[in-house]
Amino acid sequence: MRCDQCSSEAVTLIRYNGSHLCAEHFRTYVEKRVKKEIRKQIDVHPGDTIAVAVSGGKDSMVTLHILDTVFGERKDISLCAISIDEGIKGYRPPSLDIVRDFCKERGIASCVRSFSEMDMEMDRIASVSGENSPCTYCGVFRRKLMNDQAREIGAKYLATGHNLDDMAQSIMMNFVRGDVERLARLGPHTKIQPGLIPRFHPLRLIPEKESLLYAIVAGIPFWDGECPYYMEALRNQYRDVVDQLEDRSPGSKFSILASYDTLKPMLAEHFPPSGLRLCSCGEPTLGERCKACELRSSLEKRIKGL
Ligand code: FES
Ligand code: ZN
Ligand code: ZN
């Protein structure tokens, strides 16, 4: 099969629009859409710093790579990759090496925060996580450290690697659960809240398959190991549902996101951002204490009780 735009061999058929593209045209096709999203989602000015959440997986590495191609040359904008070491032997260290080497080669600032600074390494807490899945702790602690670090470096925005599949799954999940308020709070964030660095998602229009293919054809290194604490999560049900819809009607994932984008302004009006205060650890919170501090003290009790 030949590329629709040149005579080179096609590397992919984009099912939702029927086009065949070669490696070069596929790269341009992805980059164009990501750059457009970046322009749409953030408003940068000289002196701004953009933090990028980078785990070393394909999506975060592609996000970092494209942000670097957009802002890398600009001396007045700083990029900083933030990685989190959850304390998972054999899983996290190789991915951190990939991020470190990539950043060094490109001259991108990078830093690592660790669960160990909270004395909460995943290898230690996974066995005492009780009725909660280890991912619950992992997600909450990771978000806390990420936000904390982004705030510390004075970042104006925090980019994450969420792709179209992640977005469509989150939308469906919150719809089915009836969690409309959470639906209203999905990123990208447009309202500035004290202490909370607004997140944006350059890959939100890029299907997961395209993100993977892009990483391969662009020669971006990434880590694809699976976390040992990964469990069949509720989200996987939605992954299957969304994939089936897409299979039967190519373009469904885009439609889910487009419908959500149309509804979002109404949702935002209905659920204005609630007044956040600061937890004693410095994180913004709705109640007295942030979720990370709550989980941490329940874990400490459990560890002592063992
Ligand atoms: Fe959930 Fe690793 S702790 S995937
Ligand atoms: Zn081509
Ligand atoms: Zn706290």
Q: Are 123 and 86 in contact (CB under 8 A)?
A: no
pLDDT tens-digit readout, 216-264: 999 999 999 988 888 766 678 899 999 999 999 999 999 999 999 999 9
Tell the residue nearest (CA) to atom 1 of ligand 1.
135
Q: Are strands 109-114 and 157-159 parallel, antiparallel or unpaired?
A: unpaired
Q: Are 167 and 201 in contact (CB under 8 A)?
A: yes
Give residue 290 CA to ligand 3 midpoint distance, Å: 4
Q: What is the arithmetic mean of pLDDT over 182-197? A: 85
134 lines ligand 1 (CB under 6 A): yes
Residue 304's pLDDT is 77
pLDDT tens-digit readout, 261-303: 999 999 988 888 777 888 999 898 988 899 999 999 988 888 7
- The closest ligand to the CA of 22 turns out to be 2
Residue 180 has pLDDT above 70, yes or no: yes
Give residue 226 CA to ligand 1 midpoint distance, Å: 9
| Residue 276: how many other CB atoms lie within 10 Å | 16
Tell the residue nearest (CA) to atom 4 of ligand 1.
230
Residue 306 has pLDDT above 60, yes or no: no
Give residue 197 CA to ligand 1 midpoint distance, Å: 23
Residue 128's pLDDT is 81
Give residue 4 CA to ligand 3 midpoint distance, Å: 54
The neighbouring-strand residues paired with 13 are 20
User: Residue 148's closest CA among 86, 104, 196?
Assistant: 196
281 lines ligand 1 (CB under 6 A): no
- The closest ligand to the CA of 235 turns out to be 1
Q: Give the whole-number percent of the chain exceeding pLDDT 70.
A: 99
- Closest ligand 1 atom to residue 91 Cα is 2
Q: What is the arithmetic mean of pLDDT over 166-181? A: 94
Q: How confident is the model at residue 161 (pLDDT cuts 50, 70, 90)?
A: very high
Residue 274's pLDDT is 74
138 lines ligand 1 (CB under 6 A): yes
- Closest ligand 1 atom to residue 133 Cα is 1
Residue 122's pLDDT is 92
Task: Label residues 130-163 b or e (16+ Cβ within 10 Å = b).
Answer: eeebbbebbebbbbbbbbbbbbeeebbbbbbbbb
| Residue 244: how many other CB atoms lie within 10 Å | 11
What pTM does this model have? 0.95
Residue 234's pLDDT is 67
CA atoms within 13 A on the CB side of 129: 18
Residue 191's pLDDT is 76
- Closest ligand 1 atom to residue 122 Cα is 3
230 lines ligand 1 (CB under 6 A): yes
Q: What is the arithmetic mean of pLDDT over 72-82? A: 94
pLDDT tens-digit readout, 120-158: 899 988 888 777 788 889 999 999 999 999 999 999 999
